[in-house]
Structure 1
Amino acid sequence: MNELKNKVVVIYGAGGEIGGAVARAFAREGARLFLTGRRLAPVEAVARDIVSAGGEAEAAQVDALDEQAIDKHLQFVVAKAGCIDISFNAIGNSPTSYLGASLVEMDLKQFIMPITSYIISYFLTARLAARRMLLNKSGVIMTVSAPPARIGTPNGGYGPSQAAKEALTRYLSKELAPQGIRVVCLQPHGMPETETIKEIFESRAATAGVTWEQFTAYLAGMNHPKRFMTLAEMANVAVFVASDKASVLMGTTVNMTMGALDD
């Protein structure tokens, strides 16, 4: 317990399943949380859960693609808490507009949408957090990618966007590690608890006459234990990576695919 005691954490996309699970796990380990999202209501719900369980969390509406909004919020965090120890980017977007679409037939706007949202958000939140962390020569910057970064699947620009996040993790680490700042990416496999997997099923598998049970069995069959990772398991790994016990993890993507991808 208390692996993150008194750590000041900012989470982007805290109203989503991954961001919310990480927030709750960080809170249980003693972190002081500043939760953000483009929509305030789901972020407030996570903050209420944390506070009711005895943790510390504040919610704010922040568009993680808006540089000025991010910067203003970080100014508020530093003024109130004194520093930023951990920045975690868990933003997402609906994949239904590009999943299964032909690259040959796809227009530029459709292709570049996930690339623009994911990589710009990660760049802005990481860069602006790093500027504060450099003052103390300490901090951890984290994000989440997905297996399509390394697997050829029909998902338009989504796979390239995740590969770009992993590359940016390495670039940021090369620059920031000598200054005491770790940059790490987590790569979980599909989790049925998330809305993204449900949207993928509804947009593709359901129309093909595949049941939810068949769809999830197919996904689970890709990894070694033939089962799904849970949000709780993912969040537990996130706690470790964010903690001082993972001090040697930097500039890398942590493979959490349970064997679906070989390193």
Structure 2
Amino acid sequence: MLLVGKNAVVYGAGGTVGSAVARAFARNGARVFLTARNPETIEALAREIVEAGGSAETAQVDALDEVAVEGHLDAARTAAGSVDVSFNAIGIAQQGIQGIPLTELSVEAFVRPIVTYTKAHFVTARAAGRLMTGQRSGVIMMHTPEAARLGVPLVGGMGPAWAALEGLNRSLSAEFGRHGIRAVCIRTTAMVETFTVDVVYGLHAEAIGITRDQFSNLMTRLSHRRRPTTLHELADVAAFLASDNASAMTGMVANLTAGLIVD
């Protein structure tokens, strides 16, 4: 129980990554505040957590909306006494973004993920930083796939967007560290349990003229373990990094790429 007494806000909690992290936080004793643009996507998750003995509350929050994000954080702090962890797991549809050569990609499609991801993470991180500075403690967290570091073809603006998040993570640590706030990022391979990767693998497979399964096998063979990161592995590491056991870790990217990237 690494997070007993901690209060964690998860943005994009209705997605596969966000929900897995929220479950891990709750399983480790945290009170979780689940947010999504569509509250119906997180109601079942909240019930599941509560039925398992955890504590979960839901709210409709668009991570791109500064007023909504700050208002929700203030409400969470009022209800719980503090906000100790902020985890941003938002995502966007990948159709029309990946699987297209840069020479054929529109400017709008290239820029869309860069603007959306960087704005959403800045909005949530800035709000968390303002609140946590007063507390003199807190952890701001994010997740990026391997394309943030590797040169990968046909990912459009996603690679630059994820790389920008890792850069933002370092900046957050540099500015907020002296106030007792840590900033950490988790980098994984694509995870086959997610709906998004099924779509993305299909887009890439079609673009290079192979089947989705062939593309999946190709990606799997690139890692040292010959298998991708699992959601369970990501969620368990997220819970550890959010805990006081990881108090010396900030401004860093946890490498969960199974050897696909060797630091």
TM interval, shorter chain, is over 0.9
Structure 2 residue 237 is the aligned partner of structure 1 residue 237:
yes
1:44 & 1:207 partners in 2: Cα distance? 37
| Alignment-derived partner of residue 257 in structure 2 | 257
Q: Which amino acid aligns with 1:165?
A: L
Question: Which residue identity lines up with residue 176 of structure 2 in the other structure?
Answer: L
Q: How does 1:110-189 map to 2 (within 5 A)?
A: 110-153=109-152, 154-189=154-189
User: Equivalents in 1 of 2:133, 2:183: separation in Å?
Assistant: 13
CA deviation string 1:84-106 (max 9, x = no partner): 10000011111121112222332
CA 1:100–1:207: 2 relative to 1, 3 Å: closer
Q: Which letter maps to 2:234?
A: M
- Distance across 1 between alignment mates of 2:236 and 2:30: 14
Aligned match of 1:38 = 37
Q: Write the distance in 2 (CA, Å) between the matches of 1:183 and 1:204.
A: 32
Task: Report the secondary structure of 1:145's partner residue.
Answer: strand
Q: CA deviation at 1:209?
A: 5.7
- Map 1:205-220; keep pairs closer than 5 Å: 205=205, 210-220=210-220
User: What is the aligned-residue RMSD (CA, Å)?
Assistant: 1.3
Alignment of 1:40-59 (within 5 A): 40-59=39-58
The amino acid that maps onto 1:51 is V
| CA separation of 1:105 and 1:202: change in aligned 2, threshold 3 A | closer
Q: 2:236 is aligned with what amino acid?
A: N
Deviations 1:101-145 (A, max 9, x none): 222332221111000111101001011011111111000000011
For 2:104, what is the secondary structure of its paired residue? coil
Alignment partners' CA distance in 1, 2:210 and 2:111: 29
Distance in 2 (CA, whole Å) between partners of 1:240 and 1:109 is: 38
1:48 CA displacement: 1.3
SS for the counterpart of 1:104 is: helix
2:48 maps to a residue whose letter is D
Q: Percent identity?
A: 47
Q: Is there any run of 5+ residues in structure 1 with no aligned partner, and where?
A: none
3-state SS, counterpart of residue 15 of structure 1:
coil
- The TM-score with structure 1 as length reference comes to 0.96
TM-score by length of 2: 0.96
Structure 1 residue ranges (4+ consecutive) displaced by more than 3 angstroms after TM superposition: 206-213
101-110 or 20-29, which deviates more: 101-110
Alpha-carbon distance in 2 for matches of 1:241, 1:169: 14
Letter of the 2:31 counterpart: R
Q: Which runs of 5+ in 2 are unaligned?
A: none
Deviation at 1:6, TM superposition (A): 1.4
**Could you report, residue by residue, the CA deviation over 1:173-227 in whole angstroms, capped at 9, with x for unpaired residues?**
0011111000001101111100111111332325766444323221211110101
SS at match of 2:112: helix
Once residues 37 and 89 of structure 1 are traced to their aligned partners in structure 2, the CA distance between those partners, rounded to angstroms, is 11
**2:64 aligns to what?**
65
Amino acid of the structure 1 residue aligned with 2:7: V
